Structure formats: C-alpha cells, structure tokens
C-alpha cells in the first residue's frame, strides 16, 4: 500500500514523478516531535514509524539550499533542515488555524496641512510642552478617553441589568417549581413551609448551581454544602417531589444522597453525631434548648440484608450498648427516640434500636440515659411522649409514674443529672 500524508484533509500519496517528497516523523527527538504534533493537530493520534507527512506542508526555507521540490521536479535536494517544522496546513478547520491579526498603522499626529502661521506657532509651543512634560495630555485625547470610559460604563450597566433580569426570572421559575411540587400533592403545606424557613435563599442557591452546571461535566460537578443540605432535606421528606425537581434542575442523584448518608455513623444506639449537632445548635441559640423526648416502635419486615459498607449481614436484634447483639433473632420493630423542639420547629432522632418486643424495664433505662445525655449537651427535656401500648405503660410505671384511675401520677424524678428535675410523662391514647 503506498504511503499517504497524515495531515488533515491532505490526499497526497507517494508516486513516482509527482515531485512531492515524504518525510517520517522525528520519533528520536522528543522536543521536535512535540512541535510537529502540535502543528499537525490531530486528536488521539499516536505516531509510529510508518507515518509520513508530505512536502506540501513545509516552507521553502525548510529545505537544504532553500530549494523546494515543487519548484523543479528534477531537483534532488529533498532533505529537510534539522530543526524544520511543518507549518502549512490549508485544509485545517478554521478554529485550528493560527489567526494572525495585522496591527493597524498608527494614526498621524501631524497638524493639518492648511494652517495659519499663528496656529503653527501655538501648535509648536504645545508640542514642546508635551515633550518637556510627559504627564501632560492633549484635551482631545482626554475627551476621547472620557467618551470611551463612559461607553464602557454604559455597556457594563446594561450587562448588569440583563443579569439581574435573568436572576429574577430564574428565581421566579424555581419558586414556581416548588409551588408546582405542592400543587401536584408531592409535598404538603407544612413541608413546603419548612423548606422555605430553613432554606430561605434556596432560589439563589439553585440559580448559582445552574450556572456552574453549564460549565462543568456532570461527573465533575461539585455541590455546595447549602445545596447538599437542601437536597438531602427535600429527598428525606418526599422522594417523588425530589425526582420531579430533578427533571428541570441539576440536583444530585438519589444514589449520591444515599452515599452521603452512608458516610455517617448510624449504627443502632445513641446517635452521637446528632447529639453533638444539637449541642452546637443550642450553644449558639440558647432559646432552642427546650424540648420533649418522643419514642415509638415501627414495624419491620423480617429479613436478612447485606451491608456492603461494613461487610456483614443485618436485620438481627441490635440494642447497641444496652444489650449484647442477638444474631439468632430477627428484628420485628425499630424503637426510635426523637428529640422535638418546643420553642422552635426542629426534631432529630437521637437513638434507635432494632428489637423484638423490648421489655419495659430496658425502655425505662434508655429513657433515663437519654435524658441525662441530652441534659449534658445543654438541652432541657420537659417531658416524655409515647403511645399507650402495654410496654410503654410498664415503662412509665418503672420510671415512677402511675396510670391507674385512683392514683394518677404524670411525672417522675431523674436522679442521674446533677440537678434533680421532674419530667412529665404523657401517654397518648391509641385507637
């Protein structure tokens, strides 16, 4: 097969009598080879010993004795100079061709041809002053510079006005999307108000995220901490509403949110990271320290699942540090303890256990320890709330309360904390 030129758009092949010479790439000279490849400009190209480039892409000065094969077919001087680099590529796309802008000629600063003698004398005096004092400027130059500055200021104001309009339209679009989520019953009124309360600047955050997403690849996009909190919160309240917004906005994939959640230590027992967050929260805003402790059991499906993070199997009874784990019994309930704010709208799960009908004595001990831990974190627990199951009634009795009609007592004393306090115990009636 005859050798052909590797330059983009070149169809020259090695033929006898064509007057075109072919040259192999300088594979032994790395520096010179990089210059050749930069000018050839072919994507994903790997040079080999079989690749050649024709003489059509070299200047006449690149050859020995200044002779070029195209000048005379019978010329035998086809040897390139040692440092010659191909530079003629007329078939390259426009964006790959080197654009050389010619500098316009300087404006003439001579005085007009037809001037009176007095004008020439005044011009010569002014010219001498400019030469003697370089900081002096002609009034005409100052006026031109002022006009140019005013024009730039006017253009900048127009661009700022356009950007403000874009921000306003984008904010309205995002607000309409959130309202559309509510109108389609994907989230309720309370959840929408909670999002607006905790993320009042969500429109600006989402707009800023949309601008960044236009300039980056989807695999290389980085989300701000505020946007991460917004995405996690919205996905927690309603996954359908989150999927609806992802059709119009660049939001993290639900798999990414699960990956973020898996990075936290959420094993059964006391949630130390949540309690530490509450400690920092009430230290900055002391009025939010008043809360109640609520607990309830949620039914679970009996099954064994594999946890790829820890490399073990889950679904068995796990009471954290309260009782040793039971690898023979499957959990039927998740006993969740949650701290709920009284003076502000917040709630956090502070402990949970995978159980199979936990006795009331162990529940009472968990309540005591949780109240002590929350008190040490700076919170003030005013009461405990639960439903009226038999285990919960037994828990209230062991804490020191009484639910009998003749001797009703709705509070108990906590002795583990430094200051003795009475805690109310409220049992909600269940149908």
Question: Rounded CA gap, 49 and 25, in Å?
Answer: 7
- At residue 129, the pLDDT reads 46
Contact 218/249 with Cβ under 8 angstroms? no
Q: How many CB atoms lie within 10 A of CB 11?
A: 9
What was the pLDDT predicted at 292? 92
Q: Supply the pLDDT for residue 335.
A: 92
Q: What is the pLDDT of residue 190?
A: 62
Instruction: Give the side-chain half-sphere CA count within 13 A for 187.
Output: 27
pLDDT of residue 61: 86
Q: Cα–Cα distance between 123 and 89 in angstroms, integer?
A: 52
* 3-state SS track over the chain: CCCEECCCCCCCECCCCCCCCEEECCCCCHHHHHHHHHHHCCCCCCCCCCCEEEHHHCCHHHEHHHCCCCCCCCCCCCCECCCCCCCCCCCCCHHHCCCCCCCCCCCCCCCCCCCCHHHHHHHHHHHHHHHHCCCCCCHHHHHHHHHHHHHHHHHHHHHHHHHHHHHHHHHHHHHHHHHHHHHCCCCCHHHHHHHHHHCCCHHHHHHHHHHHHHHCCCCCCCCCHHHHHHHHHHHHHCHHHHHHHHCCCCCCCHHHHHHHHHCCCCCCEECHHHHHHHHHHHHHCHHHCEEEEEEEEEECCCCCEEECCCCEEECEEECCCCCCCEEEEECCEEEEEEEEECCCCCEEEEEEEEECCCCHHHHHHHHHHHHHHHHHCCCEEEEEEEECCHHHHHHHHHHCCECCCCCCECEEEECCCCCCEEEEEEEECCC
Specify the pLDDT at position 187.
57
What integer pLDDT is reported at residue 431 of this predicted model? 45
Task: Determine the Cα–Cα distance for residues 337 and 268; give it in Å rounded to an integer.
Answer: 11
Phi, psi (5° rounding) for residue 82? -55, -35
Nearest to 374 by CA among 385, 362, 383: 383
Distance CA 242, CA 211 (A): 20
Low-confidence ranges of the chain (pLDDT < 50): 66, 73-75, 115, 120, 127, 129-132, 134, 199, 418, 431
- Residue 208 has what pLDDT? 63
d(CA 172, CA 184): 18
């Amino acid at each position: 097969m005859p050798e052909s030129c590797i330059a983009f758009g070149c169809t020259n092949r090695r033929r006898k009598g064509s007057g075109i010479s072919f040259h192999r790439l300088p594979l032994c000279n790395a520096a010179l080879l990089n210059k050749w490849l930069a000018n050839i400009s072919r994507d994903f190209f790997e040079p080999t010993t079989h690749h050649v480039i024709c003489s059509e892409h070299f200047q006449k000065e690149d050859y020995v004795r200044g002779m070029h094969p195209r000048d005379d077919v019978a010329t035998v001087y086809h040897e390139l100079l040692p440092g010659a680099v191909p530079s003629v590529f007329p078939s390259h796309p426009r964006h790959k061709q080197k654009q050389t802008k010619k500098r316009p000629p300087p404006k003439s600063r001579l005085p007009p041809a037809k001037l009176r003698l007095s004008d020439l004398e005044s011009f010569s005096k002014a010219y001498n002053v400019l030469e003697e004092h370089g900081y002096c400027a002609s009034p005409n130059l100052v006026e031109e510079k002022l006009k140019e500055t005013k024009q730039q200021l006017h253009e900048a104001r127009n661009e700022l006005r356009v950007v403000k309009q874009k921000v306003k339209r984008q904010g309205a679009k995002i607000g309409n999307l959130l309202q559309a989520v509510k109108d389609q019953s994907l989230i309720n009124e309370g959840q929408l108000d909670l999002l607006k309360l905790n993320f009042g600047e969500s429109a600006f955050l989402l707009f800023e995220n949309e601008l960044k997403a236009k300039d980056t690849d989807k695999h290389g996009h980085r989300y701000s901490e505020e946007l991460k909190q917004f995405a996690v919160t919205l996905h927690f309240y309603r996954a359908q509403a989150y999927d609806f917004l992802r059709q119009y906005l660049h939001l993290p994939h639900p798999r990414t949110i699960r990956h973020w959640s898996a990075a936290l230590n959420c094993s059964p027992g006391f949630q130390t990271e949540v309690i530490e967050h509450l400690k920092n929260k009430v230290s900055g805003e002391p009025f939010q320290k008043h809360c109640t402790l609520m607990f309830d059991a949620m039914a679970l499906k009996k099954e064994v699942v594999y946890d790829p993070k820890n490399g073990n199997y889950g679904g068995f009874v796990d009471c954290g540090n309260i009782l040793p784990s039971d690898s023979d019994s499957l959990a039927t309930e998740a006993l969740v303890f949650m701290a709920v704010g009284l003076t502000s709208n917040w709630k956090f799960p502070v402990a949970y256990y995978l159980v199979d009908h936990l006795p009331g004595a162990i529940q009472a001990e968990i309540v005591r320890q949780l109240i002590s831990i929350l008190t040490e974190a700076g919170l003030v627990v005013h009461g405990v709330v639960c439903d009226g199951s038999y285990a919960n009634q037994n828990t209230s009795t062991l804490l020191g309360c009484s639910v009998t009609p003749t001797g009703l007592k709705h509070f108990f004393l906590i002795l583990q904390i430094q200051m003795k306090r009475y805690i109310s115990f409220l049992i909600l009636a269940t149908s």
